[in-house]
Every structure is written in C-alpha cells, then in structure tokens.
Structure 1
Amino acid sequence: MFSIIVVPAPCGAAGEQIRLEPGETLEFGRTGGERTAGRRHLTIPHSGVSRTAGEIAATGSFWALTNRSSKQTYVVENPEGAGEHIKVAPGRIGAPVPFEFARLVLPAAGELLSFDVWAPRHDYLDPVTDPGTYVSGEPTTLAFPLDRTKRYFLVLAALCEPRLRGEPHAPLPTADQVIDRLRPVWPAAGRAAVQWNIDYLAVKLRLKQPPEAVDGGPRLNGKKESLVSLALRFDLVREDELHVLEAGPATAARPAPRAADGESAR
C-alpha cells in the first residue's frame, strides 16, 4: 500500500497525485533526461530549478529528502507548525522529514516554488489499549489514526457537528458554514483550506474514490457524506469532543513540537 503522496498542485485532483509505496523513490527537477529513463519523475518546468534537483524516498510512515543541488538549501515546512520547518543543505542525502503533511519549498531564480507531500500513514497509539505501561511485542495501532490536534480534525468535527447535536438527518454544512464554524479556532480558514483538509481526510481514512472523482466530475458533496458517515459509524468524532470548535484553552490544532537532531530551524 502507498505510504507517501506527492501533490504537485494545491487542491489538485486525485489523478494529479503521485503515490509512492514504501521503498519507492521519486526524482524531481526541471527535466527527467536520460538519467531517469524508466524511473518516476516530477517535472518542475522552471529555468531556476536544476535538471535533477532532488529525490523523495518513501518509507512506511515518513519520507526522506535528498538535495542534489550544489548551492541551494531546500526548506520543508509544516503548514500547521506556526513556522516549524527543517532545512536540507546542498548535497544532503536522505534527510528524514517527520511531518504528516509538508510543503517542500525550492528557491528558483528569485521565486519560491513549492509542492506538498503527505504522509497519511502516521499512526497513533490507542490510549485505551496502550496506556503507557510496558507490554512486550508490537503496540496496537488504531484502524483510523487521527491526530486530534490537527486542523483536519477540526474540519471533520465541524462536518459532523449537526448530526452529533441530535439531528441525524441534518444536511451537511456547506463550505461557507464550515468556515464560519471554524472562525473561533481557525480565523484564517478559507474554502481552499477546507477542501484541502477534506481531500486529505479522504486519503487518511482510505475512502474509495467514487467514479465521478476519477473522471474529474463533482466530488466534494459525496466525499463529505462518506467522511461523516464513516466518522459517525465508528465514533471517530464524539459529541463530547465538539469543544475543539470553541475558542479557549482546550482549542485543538496547536503547533506540533519542533523537530530534533539539529535539522529544525533555530
């Protein structure tokens, strides 16, 4: 099964995503050339990008970046990290990237080019079955691993809220209604950001793509309905968790901890 998804364009359709299984690599640069014949390659058509600028290597739950530039430092940002990022120096091989979703930024002749990389197989221990006491063997991971401190959980909670409040047949909130509901805890939320998180949740929770999504037709309403149905069926969001939508000390989507091992920004 795939572990890493490269998204060349923001909010791009599923057909534009490049999915990598553990052990697979993806080269990126201005052109593939003969050197990458038969290998997967992401073309970035800009004169300021090296022909073979770098490589992404997928593992089970994270990815590593090789910077093939001889002069340019690359930056990998955590879009939810309040400025959290790592710097990958010229010539660095296999720098591990710990973020569940990241933005790779390439300096190119006075411009900053970027594309996103998702790592949806970040798993989390079940606090009930894995309470922190030592037990031999592999820990149990959740069937639907969700990080409740991330913005995608805020979006999922806002989508589920009407039905969790006792209206089982309530219509799902529109994008504008979701934005209004998130304003106390996420003032900068917009249509593109909400849709981005819905698309990511569909990948994270491994929803099957409906035929209309593959063909490029309307897809958002069906995806929202599938997400809410799955979340309510398996208690991925509970009514007592809707406090995350209220401003206050318990607000979710706090910045993640800074990366270690000298790779993080100082």
Structure 2
Amino acid sequence: MSGIVVHLPQGSGGSGEPYGEAVTLRLGPGERARFGRGSSGRPVELRLADAAISRLAGEIRVTDDHWQLSNYSRTHSYLVENPEGAGEYLRVPPCRAGAPIPFEFSRVVLPTRRDTTVSFQVFAPDHVYLDPQGVGGPWESRTVMAYSLDETATYFLVLVALCEPWLRDQSPVAVPTTPQVVERLRAHEACARLTPRAVTSHIDYLAEEKLRIGLPHAAETGKGDRRNGKREAVVAIALRFGIVQEEHLALLPPRAESAARGR
C-alpha cells in the first residue's frame, strides 16, 4: 500500500472561513494527519469547525497495508462508513487508539450539535489483489495485479460507462461527458444520487490513484482540455489492458432503447 488520500469536501468542515475550503492530503506509510477544531496550541491538518468537536479530535495513521483511526474524544463515538457497502460501517468508540479500517473508500463521520454531521473521506487506493491464476505457493512467489480495481465499487461503474461506446462498437468521436455518465447510471440503484461532481471525483481517483496516469500539469493546459484528456486516458488504459471488457456491460442499467424494445 503506497498511501492514502484524505479529502475534506468544500463546506464539510464548517460554515465559516477558512473551514469551508476543500482540503486534500496525501499520506504515505508511517505518516499521520490529525483532525479537530484545532488551535494555535493544537494544530491539526484537517480543521473541523463545530463546537461539539474537540480541538484535537482524532488522528489518522497510515501503515504498510491499511490505515488506522484513533478517537481522542472522551464522550463521542465516530463512525467510519463504507459508501460502497450498502450501509456497512464501523463504530470507533471514545479513546480507541489505532482502530484498523478495512474499507477501500471510507467516510469518517463525527457527531455535532447541528442538524447535519461533519465528515471527511479517505481513499486507500492500493488494496492489493492477487492474480487469480497465481494464488498458490509461498507469498514471495505470488503475482499481484498491476491494476487493483474493485468491480463492485461506484468508480468501476463510472469506468464501464466511459468505455461503453467502444465496447458496443459505436465508433465514438469523443468519450462520454460527465453529465452523460450521470444520466447513463441514474437508473442503477447505487447511483440514484450520483452527481456530476461525484463522477468527476471518481474519474480523478481512477486516473491518479488506480490507473496512475501521468497527465500534463494544470498550468500547461486549459481546465477543459485537462478534464477531457483525463477521461480519454482512463478509457485508453482500461481498454488496452482489458481492465473493462464486454462482459462488464452487464453491470450497467439497461439502456433506454433496449427497455423500449422490451415493452
């Protein structure tokens, strides 16, 4: 595991500046990030502006093969939700140190006095999967997958939707746009609330963490060119290496024209 990505979405840390700004942290094995309200005497990497959250509320620490969550609160439990797991979650009780978190994509949720909770996201992109053809023998001789993707995850559905026109041999001029991906997945039970911003985040995750695609720096290209280039690069890698194949189309909801013919 090469590390994790911690993301505090814009506005998730509280209502006032500077807490409303989005924050993204990249942590490698042995590194840590503290979270809480923070103060000059207790600096934190993730600032969460709510009176019910301690100055130093907890800590994330990265190990070689997973990440851990410590809860420094004496009174409140924290939840670690698996957004891809149909309600699956862990409860980290007060004063629990180093609770191991197994999810690839997690949402850490802290209770507040408001009508909404405060949360941030943790991506652990390098969960390693063995090659199904080489699971026998000693560990040192086993082969791991170059691209470790979870085919049950929402990001994989986004990838399949991006690749669909090529797999159906429609000879497309361009990859599907973000709004087109949202519309294509809307009928899927796991994607009913999928937003364009979420699709963009999944594409970023695929490009930067799962498929490790090197792209031009934002200063070298326009924002739109960079976004289009990222989608095209993701599709090219997925098809070239057979990460997405025709059988994966069954993961997508039926197309509108197919449903119409069925009626």
TM over 0.5: yes
More helix by share: 2
Q: Which runs of 5+ in 1 are unaligned?
A: 248-266
Residue 197 of structure 2 corresponds to which residue in structure 1? 192
Aligned 8 A contact 2:42 2:55 in 1: no
Cα distance in 1 for partners of 2:217, 2:171 equals 27
Cα distance in 1 for partners of 2:235, 2:24 equals 24
After superposition, residues 168-179 of structure 1 pair within 5 angstroms as 168-179=171-182
Q: Relative to structure 1, is the Cα distance of residues 141 and 229 closer, same or farther in structure 2, using a 3 angstrom cutoff?
A: same
Aligned 8 A contact 2:178 2:199 in 1: yes
Residue 207 of structure 1 corresponds to which residue in structure 2? 213
Q: Relative to structure 1, is the Cα distance of residues 176 and 213 closer, same or farther in structure 2, using a 3 angstrom cutoff?
A: farther
- The reply on whether 1:99 has 2:103 as its aligned counterpart is yes
Within the candidate set 34, 42, 46, 1:42 is matched to 46
Question: Aligned-pair distance for 1:101?
Answer: 0.7
Q: Relative to structure 1, is the Cα distance of residues 4 and 240 closer, same or farther in structure 2, using a 3 angstrom cutoff?
A: same
Question: Aligned-pair distance for 1:11?
Answer: 11
Cα distance in 2 for partners of 1:8, 1:214 equals 27
User: Per-residue CA shift, 1:9-28, capped at 9, x if unaligned?
Assistant: 1699xx94100000111111
Cα distance in 2 for partners of 1:140, 1:11 equals 43
- The reply on whether 1:123 has 2:128 as its aligned counterpart is yes
Residue 8 of structure 1 corresponds to which residue in structure 2? 8
User: Per-residue CA shift, 1:183-234, capped at 9, x if unaligned?
Assistant: 3323333322222211221222222243117999344222111101111111
- The reply on whether 1:74 has 2:78 as its aligned counterpart is yes
Residue 257 of structure 2 corresponds to which residue in structure 1? none
Aligned 8 A contact 1:61 1:120 in 2: no
Supply the RMSD in Å over aligned alpha carbons. 2.5
User: Per-residue CA shift, 1:231-258, capped at 9, x if unaligned?
Assistant: 11111111222111146xxxxxxxxxxx
Residue 252 of structure 1 corresponds to which residue in structure 2? none
Aligned 8 A contact 1:155 1:178 in 2: yes
Cα distance in 2 for partners of 1:70, 1:11 equals 26
Residue 240 of structure 1 corresponds to which residue in structure 2? 247
Q: Would you say how many aligned residue pairs link Structure 1 and Structure 2? A: 239
Cα distance in 2 for partners of 1:201, 1:8 equals 18
Higher relative contact order (CA closer than 8 Å, sequence separation 6+): 1
Q: Which amino acid aligns with 1:87?
A: R
Secondary structure of the corresponding residue to residue 34 of structure 1: coil
Question: Aligned-pair distance for 1:35?
Answer: 4.8
Within the candidate set 211, 229, 232, 1:225 is matched to 232
Cα distance in 2 for partners of 1:112, 1:215 equals 38
Q: Which amino acid aligns with 1:30?
A: R
- The reply on whether 1:147 has 2:150 as its aligned counterpart is yes
Q: TM-score, normalised by structure 2?
A: 0.82
Aligned 8 A contact 1:25 1:58 in 2: yes
Q: TM-score, normalised by structure 1?
A: 0.81
Question: Aligned-pair distance for 1:78?
Answer: 0.7
Percent of pairs identical after alignment?
Answer: 46
